[in-house]
Amino acid sequence: MPRTLVIDDDHHLQSLITETGSDDFSFAFSDQEALDILSEDHSIDIALVSIDSDKIGGMGLFRLLKGERRLRIPRIALTGGNDLTVIRNAMKDGAVDFLTKPVSVDDLQATIDKVFQDCEARRKAWRTESELAAIRREIDVAGDLQQRILPSDFPKRDDLDVFARTTPAQDIGGDFYDFFELGPDKLGLIVADVSGKGVPAAFFMAVARTLIRAVALTEHEPGACLEQVNRLLYQHDIPGMFVSVFYGILNTKTWEMAYANGGHLPPYLIPGDGGAIRTLSGGDGVVLGIQDEIPYEQDSVIIDPGGALFFYTDGVTEAFDVNRNQFSDERLTNYLLENRSLSAHALTNNAFAFINLFTGDAPQSDDITSLVIKRF
């Protein structure tokens, strides 16, 4: 039962309420007494305010209760007449309901209960909205931080061109790419896809990326690196989380790239001599984080002058249009054939534009990521 302060000098109303035996009502017979009670007793939920009395309340007190934040509680206007102008003014100044005298106990109780329930529902909705807004801000910050940890400064070199891009399906994605120097002539290249989406995937992505980078400094072979990272992820024991990873180390003197594949889609090799486009074979292994002590085979490939590698995640080929048709490996292969002469930057961005054109108004169902390295 809500606590109600009755601000009125009508002793008949006080007697009527007192006879009910309820302890949920307090009474104020002057404006100052009402203000004192409201200032000191924070358990008051509702004020029942006389708005047409010459001695107490009135619209002046009504407006004061509206303006004072510390005194701001739901107000029910109490009037002795049926002047609609007075009632409208009260509602305009914040009344949530009104009662006209003579008041029956049943009407009074029903009105108070209704007002209290409505106000509680609004408070709950406001709190929910505020909590959602806070979560929204946290997600925005997390998404921004996630984008910031992905490399955005691409190497400017005379011998090669590197570019990567990712578009998460939600505000926070599970895909990631990375590249980093492992000495004067070695470049680490990674594309990975974490299971799930949202905050858990983003957290696991950050862990996986950090571990790969750290282990790569001491494990100079891709297969050995993935074995160690898999072992560490498995020891973290994060239920339901795993990551597919394709990791290559490119020697920029010999243009040989050693690589290992942890359950990921192999990149496309685009020969510079106009030869057939193919996916890299070998170096197969399972996704990281679900089994301990998994060996990861290693293989290698040579990138010839003008050649390129197109790394990607399954969000590329599994992008759907409004009719649930997939973008498909065939469309991707045809795109690469027709655009093989483009720079890494153009090949990546045009691929995203092509996918967006294909999907149209269909919602994005998965993160889309690609990384391209091209030899000059």
Which pLDDT belongs to residue 35? 86
pLDDT, tens only, 27-84: 888 888 888 888 888 888 888 888 876 666 666 776 777 666 656 788 888 888 777 8
Q: Between 169 and 265, name the one with better pLDDT.
A: 265
In sequence order, what DSSP letters do the residues of 38-93 get, joined into one string? HHH-TT--EEEEESS-SSS-HHHHHHHHHH-GGG---EEEEESS--HHHHHHHHHT
List the domain boundaries for the chain: 4-126, 151-375
Q: Reduced to 3 states, what is the DSSP secondary structure of residue 374?
A: strand
Q: Identify the DSSP state of 366.
A: S
State yes or no: pLDDT of 259 exceeds 70.
Answer: yes
Q: Reduced to 3 states, what is the DSSP secondary structure of residue 161?
A: strand
Is the Cα dihedral 131, 134, 140, 145 positive or negative?
A: negative
% of the chain at pLDDT higher than 90: 51
Q: Any idea which of 45-59, 291-305, 337-351, 352-366 has the lowest mean pLDDT?
A: 45-59
pLDDT category of residue 117 using cuts at 50, 70 and 90: confident
State yes or no: pLDDT of 243 exceeds 80.
Answer: yes
Class of domain 4-126 as given by CATH: alpha beta
Which pLDDT belongs to residue 135? 66
- Give the separation between CA 247 and CA 311, rounded to whole angstroms: 10
Q: Between 227 and 202, name the one with better pLDDT.
A: 227
In sequence order, what DSSP letters do the residues of 81-144 get, joined into one string? S--HHHHHHHHHTTEEEEEESS--HHHHHHHHHHHHHHHHHHHHHHHHHHHHHHHHHHHHHHHH
Which pLDDT belongs to residue 202? 82
Average pLDDT, the chain: 88
Q: What share of the chain is helix, strand, coil (3-state, %, to 5)?
A: 40, 25, 35
pLDDT category of residue 137 using cuts at 50, 70 and 90: confident
Distances (CA, A) of 208 to 10, 17, 144: 73, 68, 18
* 260-289 average pLDDT score: 94
Which pLDDT belongs to residue 89? 79
User: What are 237's two structure tokens?
Assistant: 């024991």
* 225-242 average pLDDT score: 92
- Give the separation between CA 307 and CA 328, rounded to whole angstroms: 23
Taking alpha carbons only, the member of 375, 370, 373 closest to residue 354 is 370
Which pLDDT belongs to residue 143? 65
pLDDT category of residue 347 using cuts at 50, 70 and 90: very high
Residues comprising the chain, all counted: 376
Q: Between 132 and 14, name the one with better pLDDT.
A: 14
Q: Any idea which of 18-32, 209-223, 229-243, 318-332 has the lowest mean pLDDT?
A: 18-32
Which pLDDT belongs to residue 67? 63
Q: How many CB atoms are located within 10 Å of the residue 258 CB?
A: 19
Specify the CATH number of the domain 151-375. 3.60.40.10
* 267-292 average pLDDT score: 93
State yes or no: pLDDT of 199 exceeds 90.
Answer: no
Q: Any idea which of 17-26, 87-96, 345-354 has the lowest mean pLDDT?
A: 87-96
